[in-house]
Each structure stands twice: as C-alpha cells, then as structure tokens.
Structure 1
Amino acid sequence: MKVKLAPVELFSLMINFLLGSAIVVGWNFQPKQDVWISILLSLGFGVGIFYFYLLLHSLGKWGNLIQLLELGFGKWISKLLGFIYCLYFLYIAGRVLKDFSFFIGQVLFINIPFWIISFTFLLVVSYSCFVGIEATARSSLILCVFTCVIILVLMVFGYLSPHFELSRLTPVFRTSWKQILSSIFPTGLTFPYGELIVFTMIFPYVNNRKALRKYGWIAVCTTGMLLLVAGEMILGLLSPETVNLYVFPFVKAVELNVVTDFLPHLEAFTVILNLIGGFIKISVFMYGGFMILAQMFPKAKRNRQILTATILTFLCAFILSKNIIQHLFIGLKIVPLYMHIPLQLIVPFILVISLIIKKYISKKQGDSPPPL
C-alpha cells in the first residue's frame, strides 16, 4: 500500500511534533527578560533547518533518509549510518517517553511507578505505528485543533490573571549576546527544530511537494510563536528570578490561574497537551526508527519490526537515566552536543555537499561529447 499525506496533515503533524514536550519543558530562561530574543532567533534557525532538509530531498530526488544516504555515501556507509539513525530515533523516542512519564508521575499519578505509565502509553504508540503514518497524521489534524485552542485559552487566562505582572517582562536588552547565543547553541537550535530530521523519512510521502515547499514554514512559525507567547506568560506569572527553580514552569504558571470555582485546576489542560504532544512525537520517532528497520531488514515480518522498535524505545527510556535530574542533565548538556549536532546538522550537511558534487559530475559527463 502506497502512503500518501496531504500537506495539511503533514503541517498538523509537524506542529504537534514540534510542540511535543517543548510546551512543557522546552524553555531556557537563562536570558530572563530577553528570552523572547532567543526564542525568535531559534525560530529563524528552525525555518532555515526546515528548508535545508527540503534541499536535501530535492537533491536526492525525494527519497527517504536511507535512500539519500545510499545515494550520497554508497551502500555500506549508508547501512552503518542508517543503523545509527535508527538507534538515534528510537533513543529520542525513549527520552520523550521518559519526559512524559516524569510529567504524568509528578502531576497526575503520583503513586504510580514510571514504568507502568510508560508501558501503557507505549502500547498506544505501537498501535499507531502498526496502523501507519497516514492514520497518525489524520488523528494529528484533529488533535492539532485541540492543542491550539487549549494553548490559546490558557494564554488568555494567564495574561488576564491577577498574578500576571507586566513589569516582570522588563527591562529588555540587558542580557549579553554571548548568553543569548549560548541559550540557542546547541540546545535551542537542536530542540525542537533540529528534530525535524526524522521527517526526512516522511516528506517523500507528501502528495503536493510544491505546497510543502511554499507553506511548510508556517508550521514551524506557528510553533515558535506559541512558544514565544507562552514563554512571556510564564515570565509574567513566575518572575525571572524564580522561573528556573521549576522543572515544569508552564504547569506551575497555569496553576496560578483559577477561573471561578467551576474551573479551579486549569493545569489539568497541560496534561492533555502533554498527552497529545507526547503521543505524536513518540509515534513519529518510533515510526522513523521502524521504517529504517523495515528497509534494512525487508524480509522480517512487520509485527516483529514494530515489536523490536517498541522494546528498544522502552529500554532507552529506563536504562540510560535513573532520575529526572540525571535525565535533564543528559538531555540538555550531553545529547545536544554529541548526538543532535552530528546527526541533525553535520551528517546532513556533508550529505548535501556529496549530492551536489555527484550531481555536478553527472551533469558534466552528460554534457561532454561522446568519444570519437
């Protein structure tokens, strides 16, 4: 069965994916009142990254990532890199799963072990991989509406809250550019926008590539603007001095909003946001890893490939970090520098150079006159 995605389905998938865990834990408030500058700069780089991945596809005749690697580096190097990317996608899926488990365990089910939350959620994600990316994308289209409405409603109540103080957003332009850039590189650049690398396995399925080229940036900008508005709300509610004390600042900010006695706990909506974003993000990463497994081992049964991807994701969620402090340290200090940068930027950049050179050589050979 040939997979086909409408541009609007892909855009909704991208919005939910990019928001994912970013709407809950995705801010770096080190620049304090100037955090909006780092968010906007990260957004600009995010649009550039999106078009960079589209350039990669246009040079490689819209093959998926594994086909592009084989076209640029040859059969054996592409197999090695494909295996690395498979583990990378499944590892990031495991990290997002652990983000989700920590969040739900601390906010909703305090006495439930993390592994039970993760295992239950992973069953739903596995079924999503089984039915395919088309069904997930259609679901994402509906869920995207709920996501945007919930965020906007929470923003309205947040900015109108008596706890919100506009003075906490000023003064601006007091943070050094060195500190702002350190908040962008590598964390703000690679999370969440650099994670669009997994969409190199999905872009070839879009049935209207012109619309993807023309309007794809809208999904990235929508995400960036939602994060910007939410980040300013958090600062206005929690203050720049205390915001970094919270693991989940968005949830803490929303807790300050009480809408009459009928809606005393608006933070419950943050759980819904995390459920939607976590489901889409883990599903996309797992599907990317599963697709690579299917391409590397075409004779294996589909059920076994999905089961393998599920087990690896579950193991990555629990073996590689023991508690939330270690989890955040690895995610913010080690993973961006030693995993994201090489696999999101360096390898694709070298691949683009390789494809350009091969295209130039092929064109030269085609233009040269035949030997006498």
Structure 2
Amino acid sequence: MMPTVKITPKQLFVIMVLFELGSAVVVGLGTEAKQDAWIAILLGMIGGIGLFYIYGLLFNRYPDLPLSIYAQKILGKWPGKIIACLYSIYFLYIGARVLRDFGELIVTSALSETPLLVVNILIIVIIIYGCILGIEVIGRSAEIFFMIFMALGLIFIVLIFVSNQFKIENLQPVLGEGWMPVLQTAYPSVLTFPFGEMVVFTMFLPFLNKPNTGLKTGMYAILFSGFIITTTVIVQVGVIGVHQAANSTFPLLDTVGKINIQDIIQRLDPIAILILMIGGFFKIIIFLFASTISLSSAVSIRNFHILAIFIACLTLGTSLLIEDNYLQHIQIGLDVVPNYIHPPFQIGIPLLLLLVMLVKKRRARKRGT
C-alpha cells in the first residue's frame, strides 16, 4: 500500500537537487566534449526541462497518482501493470548502479582493505531504515543535508581559487572542434544522465501538499542542479585539465586533492567523500522508494515496508553482480545505459502515455463527454 504522507514544495526541491547532483558529480560528466563539457551539460539541462514538462502534463491530469497507476488508466489494466513492473525493474537497476558507484568510491578512496560487499551492505542498511521512516522524514532530512552539501561545496570552490589551482587556459579554445562533439555528448548522454532520471519523480509528485507547484518545482530543481553541475565540471577541467578529467576514476576527488594552502589546508579528500555520500544516499533511496511504489502498483502485496526491504536486498545483490570490475561498470554506465536503457523509460513511455491521453481526451470531447 502506497504511503499517504505529504511533503512541501521546498522539501521536494532539495530532494530533487540532491538526487540530480548524486552520482553526476562523482563521474566525469560530459568529458567526451573535452573542454566544452560545460556547454554540453547546459544543452542537456535544456532538454531535461523539456522532458520534465512532459511529466508535468501527465501529472496535472492525474495529480493524485504516480505514473505506475495512471499508466493503467491510460493504457488499460494489464498493459499498465506491465509498465509498472518494468519501471520497478528500471529503478532498481539504476539504483543498483548508483550503489555500486558509491561503494567503489569508498573502497577506492578510503577503505581499500574492506570488501565491496561489506561497504554496500552498510549503505543498504541505512537506505532500508530511511525507506521505513518514509518520504516525510526523507524530505526533512534533505532540508538539513542540502545546507551542509551546499556550504561544503562552496568552501571547496573558494579554497581551489585561493590556492591558485584553477587555470582558465584549460577551458580553451571554446568550441575548438565545433558544435558536433558537444551536441553528440549532450544528446543523449547528458540528457538522459542525470537530467532524464528525473522521471523517477513521477512517483513522488503525488506526495506534494500543493500539487499545482509540481511542474514549477521540478523545473527550478533542474535549473539549479544544472548550474551546480556545470560549475563543478568547469572547476574540474580548469584544475586538472581535460585529459585527467576524462581518464580519472573520480575526477572530483583529484580536483579537491590539489588544494594546498601554505601546506596547512590540504588532504581534504575525506570531507569531499562526505559531500558525495550525501548526494549518493538520496539518489539511491529515491530510486529504491520509487521501485517499491511502482511494484506495489502492480502486485497485491500491501505491506510497503516488507516490499521495500525486498527491493533493497535485490538492489544489493544486483550492485555486486552487474559487472566484474569498476572500469567495465563505468564504461557500460556511460556508453550503454544512456543510449539503450534510459531512453525508453525517460522518453518513449511518457510520450506514449501523453499521446494516448490526448487522443482519448479529444475523442471524449467529440462525443460531448
């Protein structure tokens, strides 16, 4: 049974921003465009706003229902249930990929002697606890962690410039290879990750206590997070250069590692990991919560907590089994997932639902009903 609690537009906004930043600031986003990665991110952000507008149109027609339920009203009971199951699997799979990202981050940078299994279990236990507490508690927690995330991020940027590590020439020449590499990077790679992943919030918009603010809140969140991601990429490329940013496992950690002020303020990697884990926690928990909501819309299991624990355990297992090593994981995550897995769920199915809804609405008007 789906939870019936409500959250405020402010809480939804901070959850969306933390979700968007999540793994987007961990991996090297848009590096295929080299020094023009920041332009590709801005273009992808514009496309993401367009996608969220589609989700908003569907939500405005069914303000009390998640996508997994109004798909059944638009397409019929059984086609809708199949779509709900597919979205549950999709959210579970992407959540498992994010869990793998952050498990590898901790193992590689902080706990090199600790097995990945142990780290992922610890993360998933916290995720399960958050799911049991519910979306209202998640929203209140997001308000607190959002301020910590932004404050620490701002401090890092200031320290980078104070330590004279930023080199503007690393960002030149602008559009040195023309628009084509930028456009090919923006669409579909940056569009689908991270901006298209906002499709997950079609499961959360019904929790809003002011439904009429849903579309506006989502668009503001995309704009704000897009600005933060663009700034992060500009700083990364400006500090460590295009080549290292493109080939580094965790370019943000390499960037923070360059901070050195009078040999006093340095080695700030642990604090950077803390920032990244805040975003990672909210990204994973949102995917798992959405997967649970979607599956509960298709099956007759009424105990939401039991279903959430089941989804979390599947996510843990999937995170460990999807790839043999982290390099393969990153390659598939940046090449295969954005081109073949994201588009049907972020673009194809929502467009199909919108078109069918509009056709039915037009027919109903013709019949005078």
Q: Distance in 1 between matches of 2:48 and 2:349?
A: 17
Q: Equivalent residue for 2:174?
A: 172
In structure 2, which of residues 212, 219, 222 is the aligned counterpart of residue 220 of structure 1?
Answer: 222
Following TM superposition, by how much is the alpha carbon of 1:28 offset from its aligned partner in structure 2, in angstroms?
A: 2.0
Q: Equivalent residue for 1:211?
A: 213
Q: Distance in 2 between matches of 1:94 and 1:324?
A: 13
The amino acid that maps onto 1:22 is A
Q: Distance in 1 between matches of 2:173 and 2:128?
A: 48
The amino acid that maps onto 1:243 is A
Q: Equivalent residue for 2:117?
A: 115
Q: Distance in 1 between matches of 2:197 and 2:128?
A: 20
Q: Equivalent residue for 2:7?
A: 5
Q: Equivalent residue for 1:50?
A: 52
Following TM superposition, by how much is the alpha carbon of 1:293 offset from its aligned partner in structure 2, in angstroms?
A: 2.5
The amino acid that maps onto 2:327 is I
Q: Distance in 1 between matches of 2:68 and 2:216?
A: 25
Question: What's the % identity of the aligned pairs?
Answer: 31
Deviations, residues 283-325 of structure 1 (Å, cap 9, x unaligned)? 0000001112322234443342122101111121011111111
Deviations, residues 32-75 of structure 1 (Å, cap 9, x unaligned)? 22222111111111222222211121233442111221122111
The amino acid that maps onto 1:257 is I
The amino acid that maps onto 2:291 is G
Cα root mean square deviation, aligned: 1.6
1:95 aligns with 2:97: yes
Kindly indicate whether the alpha-carbon contact (under 8 Å) linking 2:47 and 2:191 is maintained by their aligned counterparts in 1: yes
Q: Distance in 2 between matches of 1:65 and 1:316?
A: 24
In structure 1, which of residues 186, 191, 194 is the aligned counterpart of residue 193 of structure 2?
Answer: 191
Following TM superposition, by how much is the alpha carbon of 1:239 offset from its aligned partner in structure 2, in angstroms?
A: 1.5
TM-score between the two structures when normalised by the length of structure 1 = 0.94
Alignment of 1:62-81 (within 5 A): 62-81=64-83
In structure 2, which of residues 285, 288, 291 is the aligned counterpart of residue 286 of structure 1?
Answer: 288
Following TM superposition, by how much is the alpha carbon of 1:326 offset from its aligned partner in structure 2, in angstroms?
A: 1.1
The amino acid that maps onto 2:77 is K
Kindly indicate whether the alpha-carbon contact (under 8 Å) linking 2:52 and 2:215 is maintained by their aligned counterparts in 1: no
The amino acid that maps onto 2:173 is P
Alignment of 1:19-30 (within 5 A): 19-30=21-32
Q: Greater CA deviation, 69-78 or 44-53?
A: 44-53
The amino acid that maps onto 1:275 is M
Q: Distance in 1 between matches of 2:157 and 2:51?
A: 28
Q: Equivalent residue for 1:38?
A: 40
Q: Greater CA deviation, 81-90 or 300-309?
A: 300-309
Following TM superposition, by how much is the alpha carbon of 1:213 offset from its aligned partner in structure 2, in angstroms?
A: 3.1
Aligned length: 367
Kindly indicate whether the alpha-carbon contact (under 8 Å) linking 1:5 and 1:206 is maintained by their aligned counterparts in 2: yes
What SS does structure 1 have at the residue aligned with 2:266? coil
Q: Distance in 2 between matches of 1:306 and 1:259?
A: 46
Q: Equivalent residue for 1:370?
A: none
1:129 aligns with 2:112: no
Kindly indicate whether the alpha-carbon contact (under 8 Å) linking 1:46 and 1:193 is maintained by their aligned counterparts in 2: yes
Q: Greater CA deviation, 355-364 or 107-116?
A: 355-364
Q: Distance in 2 between matches of 1:338 and 1:29?
A: 19
